[in-house]
Chains A and B, each alone.
Chain A
Amino acid sequence: MTLNNIFFDPMNAGASEAAKKAGAEYIVVDARLDISRQVDGVENLIAQSVSAIILNPVDSDAIVPAVQSANKANIPVFTIDVKSRGGTVTSHITSDNVGAGRLAGEFVAKELPQGSKVGIVDGPPISTFQQRVEGFTKAVAGKLVIGARQNALQNTPEAFTAITENLITGNPDLKAIFAVNDNAAEAAAAAIESTGRKDVWVVGVDGIPSVVKTIAQNGIIKATVGQQPGQMGRLAVDAALRYLNGEKVPPEIKAPLELVTKDNADSFHW
C-alpha cells in the first residue's frame, strides 16, 4: 500500500492493530503510488515467505503479474479497495465503490428538480473511480441529465481544478458536480469559487476530514460518501487470519459506507 496518505494511514493503522491483537507479524511495504515499486515490494514479501499478502494495488492491471507470482509461491493474496484484474485473489475488501456512487447519485437526485443537469469530475482510469461513476450514473438515470464529464489525467488538485473550471464554464447550466473523490471535490469547490459561480455545488466520495468540515459549515461541498479505511484494514487482516486458520472467507467483503451531509458531519470521522 501507499503510506503517508490521509486515507491509507488509517487503513494501515487498522490492519496493524488487528494483526497485533491476533499476535500476527505485520510487515508493511510503502508503494508510494508507484506500481513498479509495488511489484518489487510484493516480490520481496514472497522472498521473505510471508503467510499472506494484503495488497492495495496502485493499478488494477499492472498488479496482475505480482499477484500471479504470489499464487505461484502458494501465498494467499487479499486486496483492499482496488481490485486486481487477474491472478487468484482469495478475498477482496472494498467500500463498494458502485454503492458509494449510488449513494451520492441518490442524494443529488433528491436535492435537485427532475431533469436538472449535472457534471462529473472523473479521475484517471482506475476501477475505483470507474465504479463510482457507474453507480452515480445508474442512480441519476431517468431523474437528472449528465451534461458533461471529464477525466483528470492525474489524481492531483491541479488537474481537477483546471477541468472543473472548464467544465462549468463550458456548461453554464450545470447545477451540481459529482467528484470521484474528496480531493477532486475540494479542487472543484476551489474552481467554482474562483469562477465566482454561486449556483453550483459539489458531492464527493471518501469523507476526508477537511471536506467533512466544509460540509458542516455549509460550504460549496454539500455531501460526501464516507468510507471507513480503518475498518477496511481490520477486515482484511481478519479475513487473512481466518483463511490461514482454515476457515472459508467470501470472495468479496464489503466495508460499511456512510452518506455525510451537514446533518451528521459533526459525528463522522475516519
Chain B
Amino acid sequence: MPQKLGPSIVSRLYASGGAALVGVVGASIVFALSTSVFLSTANLLNIGRQTAVVALVSVGMTFVIITGGIDLSVGSVVGLSGTLAAAAITQFHVGPISGVLIGLAVGAVVGGINGAFIALLRIPAIVTTLALLSIARGIALQSTNGRPISGLTTSFSFLGRGEIFGAPTAFIFTVIVYIIGALILRFTIVGKHIVGIGGNEEAARLAGLKVRTYRLGIYTVTGLISGFAGLVLMSRLGSGQPTAGAGLELSSIAAVVLGGTRITGGQGTLVGTFLGALLITILGNGLDLLNVGSFYQLVFVGAVLLAAVVISKFIES
C-alpha cells in the first residue's frame, strides 16, 4: 500500500464516504424539519428516481478515478445509448429486450474505444474521453436529426418509471449494481489490483499486474454501465433524447469526490460514491421543496464540493 503507516480512523472514515454520510444525514434532518413533505413516500420515491441515473454513472466513474483516470464521455454515452435503443425499438421494431441489449452494447463499444486509446495507445484519459464526449454526442444528434425519438410503448416505462415492492425500479437496479461493484472492489483480488494500480502504477506493473488489460476492462465496464443508465433515463423520459445526459460527467465526478475517493487515484469506495450521489440529489430535491431558486442551488452545491475537498486535505495532512 502506498499509504503512510497507519492511516488514522478519521481519514479512513472520510475515505469511505463519512463526509457524504454526514452531509446526507444533516441535509435530511434540515429538510425534514423545514418542509412537511421531505420524508413523505411520494418525495422519497422522487429522490429514488432522481438519484438512479447519476448514481449509476458514478459507479464506473469511481473505478476509473481509483485507477488514476477520468471519463468525460459518460454523459454522451447516456444520450447515445438511449437514442439508439429508442430508434431500434420504434423504427426497426426490435423487441424491448433487443433494445436493452443494443443500448448496453453501444455503451460497451464507446467504453472499449476509450479503453483502447488509453490503455493500448497511452493517450491521456482526459483527451481521449473528451474526444469521445464529442463523437458520441455528435452521433446521437446526427442519427436523430437532433430530435427526440418518441413512441416508446408503455412496456418500456418499467425501468425508469415502474416500481418493485413500492420502490422505484431504477433505484433497485442501481442498488444491485452498487452491491456487485462494492463486493468486487472490496473482497476480490481484482478489486485489490484496481486500487493497487491507482496507488502506484509502476509498482503494480513490476508486480506483474496486467495494467493495460485492467484499464481496457474498466473503461469498457464504465461505458456499459453508462449505457444502462442511458436506458433508465430513456425509460424515465419516455423517449430517446439526443441531448440526454449532458453534464452528467461533472455531477458524477462530484459524487465520486464527495464520496471520499481520492481524485488522483489509489483510494475510494462505492459506498462513499453512493452517498455522494445521494447527497447531490437530496440537496437539489430539498432546496426545490423549499422553493430555493436553482441559481442559488448551483452556488450551494459547488460550495459543498469545495468544503468536502478542503476537509479531506486537512484530514490527510
Contacts and interface: CB of A to CB of B under 8 A. Distances in A.
**Do A and B come from the same complex?**
yes
Contacts of A161: 236-237
A114 interface: no
B135 interface: no
B42 A150 contact: no
A172 B49 CA distance: 19
Interface stretch (A15-23, A132-140, A163-171, A241-249): A163-171
Name the residue among A149, A157, A167, A195 with the largest chain B CB count within 10 angstroms: A157
Interface string A142-156: 000000111111101
A210 B243 contact: no
Contact of B289 (A4, A32, A154, A169): A169
Nearest to A158: B244
B298 interface: yes
Contacts of A112: none
A165 B236 CA distance: 12
B113 interface: no
A145 B238 CA distance: 31
A48 interface: no
Contacts of B245: 158
B239 to A, nearest CB: 7
Contacts of A162: 50, 284-285, 288
Contact of B288 (A125, A154, A170): A170
Name the residue among B145, B150, B294, B295 with the largest chain A CB count within 10 angstroms: B294
A45 interface: no
Contacts of A148: 291
B223 to A, nearest CB: 20
Contacts of B101: none
Interface residues of A, number: 32
Interface in B145-186: 145-148, 150, 161
A267 interface: no
Given A5-B146, A195-B46, A166 B289 contact: yes
Contacts of A157: 148, 237, 239, 241, 244
A158 B237 CA distance: 7
B305 interface: no
Nearest to B145: A4
Contacts of B236: 161, 190, 194
Contacts of B145: 4
B37 A169 contact: yes
Nearest to A163: B288
Nearest to A148: B291
B235 to A, nearest CB: 11
A156 B244 contact: yes
B172 to A, nearest CB: 15
A6 interface: yes
Interface in A203-227: 210
A207 to B, nearest CB: 16
A216 to B, nearest CB: 16
A93 interface: no
B144 to A, nearest CB: 8
A142 to B, nearest CB: 22
Given A4-B145, A153-B294, A157-B239, A169 B244 contact: no
A223 B284 CA distance: 29
Contacts of B246: 154, 156
A190 B237 contact: yes
Contact of B46 (A4, A169, A210): A169
A194 B161 contact: yes
Nearest to A152: B294
B233 interface: yes
Contacts of A154: 246-247
A156 B150 CA distance: 15
Given A152-B294, A156-B244, A4 B237 contact: no
Name the residue among B141, B233, B288, B289 with the largest chain A CB count within 10 angstroms: B288
A169 B43 contact: yes
29 contacts: A4-B141, A4-B145, A6-B147, A149-B291, A150-B294, A151-B294, A152-B294, A154-B246, A154-B247, A156-B241, A156-B244, A157-B148, A157-B244, A158-B233, A158-B237, A158-B244, A158-B245, A162-B50, A163-B294, A165-B50, A169-B37, A169-B40, A170-B35, A170-B37, A170-B290, A190-B237, A193-B161, A195-B45, A195-B46
The 9 closest A-B pairs by CB, nearest first: A4-B146, A166-B288, A170-B289, A165-B46, A151-B294, A4-B145, A194-B161, A169-B43, A157-B237
